[in-house]
Homo-oligomer: A and B are copies of this chain.
């Protein structure tokens, strides 16, 4: 492994790709566009899963599991949804291989084993789930249905990047059914808020909650709520979406219920999801030219202890001190590791933990033993300090809390200084090209204007912020009247 990462200023995209691989987060696989999530990357994803799963259960949702495959006839039932995903569907057509008569030792698809109906590998599960919900809902007593699924999905993207856009990715997808429109709308907003809360407080990434324009809505949704984050290169990243699906899927799959008055009505729906894409947001928000930077709440190891020694006696003494520190940290529910590998020298260990973003590194050498101290290095600021063992526990707690909030504040500060109000299209283009970030501008509300701005600048409307001040004005592009500013940005 070469030690030096490409710097962000040199080539941001290359920096990202190198970091993901060198920090042992993920790598490309033999399957076009599909990634291998390596143990260190997966450990971070597991922490995200655990926290999200807790939040889903606290809000009354239950997990379930639905089939990987969607028969084509079900897939096409909700037309807008089908049309939105048709171009990126992996399709199973056969169910058997056989020995290839022309090539000994090789296999071929058995032409006799063609499926009567092709199966789409789920790009999202509305179709298969709503076809199932039909059997679960008869009366208002069966509602609401509050279901979540942790699963893999496949979208055959032509240009892929580790975590950000892969043909297969891992996600959770919530699917809920309600008796009223208001209840479904509330659910969609609630879950968008759950995402915002998670991403801000757990991932230390500030987000803007908003609604998508019609152009950017999920295929099949009547409204899409979203959380948008800003990366260090001034591009936006959609970190999660929550859809109000109206009665579209209920109508496509004929899911009706008897309401309290005994009348039949179609069920109202939501769906919402976040994916391993969040790993990309995490990396791009906090990391630096030395490698990954992790908020303590997501670090597989919040603290590593590295021994520095020449003699076995020193190592034994250091081990004793380290074990006592470990025990203390674990009693506080902190994750910590004593890196006593004999195959690596301290310098190599330091470099690895820096590259992998361990929030705090404690080094203990002979001088520390003599003085009753340790050296603590902080990953986010790269600063070091000597701390007496007597105060270590309290200091570690304080530092971990400070890192968590500092990372958030740093990202918030970046976003604040990279959010610009513009009032003309020249200004719009200038800011977009020379500064980047979110551009708050008036827009006349038409798809046409949105498309033209996108064609000219590659910027899209990321969202109409939920907490938008109502301010009338004129569209930066057409000069037509506008009711409020919206957020534009180039996006991942």
Instruction: State whether A68 and B135 are in contact (beta carbons under 8 Å apart), knowing that A39-B63, A43-B62 are contacts in the complex.
Output: no
Chain B CB within 8 A of A121 CB: yes
Chain A 21-64: CB-based contact to B (< 8 A → 1; otherwise 0): 00000010111001111110011011000000000000000111
Q: What is the total number of residues of chain A having a CB less than 8 Å from a CB of chain B?
A: 65
Chain B CB within 8 A of A369 CB: no
- Select which of B63, B70, B168 is within 8 A of A31 by beta carbon: B70
Instruction: State whether A128 and B30 are in contact (beta carbons under 8 Å apart), knowing that A90-B95, A94-B93 are contacts in the complex.
Output: yes
Closest to A150 in B: B150
CB distance from A139 to the nearest CB of B (A): 9
Closest to A158 in B: B95
B95-A91 in contact (CB<8A): yes
Chain B CB within 8 A of A447 CB: no
* Chain B residues within an 8 Å CB radius of A399: none
- Select which of B39, B63, B88, B132 is within 8 A of A96 by beta carbon: B88
Chain B CB within 8 A of A76 CB: yes
* Chain B residues within an 8 Å CB radius of A27: 132, 135
Chain B CB within 8 A of A249 CB: no
- Select which of B30, B63, B118 is within 8 A of A46 by beta carbon: B63
Chain A 85-101: CB-based contact to B (< 8 A → 1; otherwise 0): 01111111111111100
**Interface of A with B (CB < 8 Å)?**
27, 29-31, 34-39, 42-43, 45-46, 62-72, 74-76, 79, 82, 86-99, 105-107, 109, 118-121, 128, 131-132, 135, 141, 147, 151-152, 154, 156, 168, 170, 343
Closest 10 CB pairs of A and B: A39-B62, A34-B67, A37-B65, A86-B97, A95-B156, A91-B94, A31-B67, A93-B93, A76-B107, A90-B92
Contacts A31-B119, A91-B109, A96-B156 known; list 16 others, CB within 8 Å: A30-B67, A30-B131, A30-B132, A31-B70, A35-B67, A36-B64, A36-B66, A36-B67, A37-B64, A43-B62, A68-B152, A76-B107, A88-B95, A91-B93, A93-B93, A93-B94
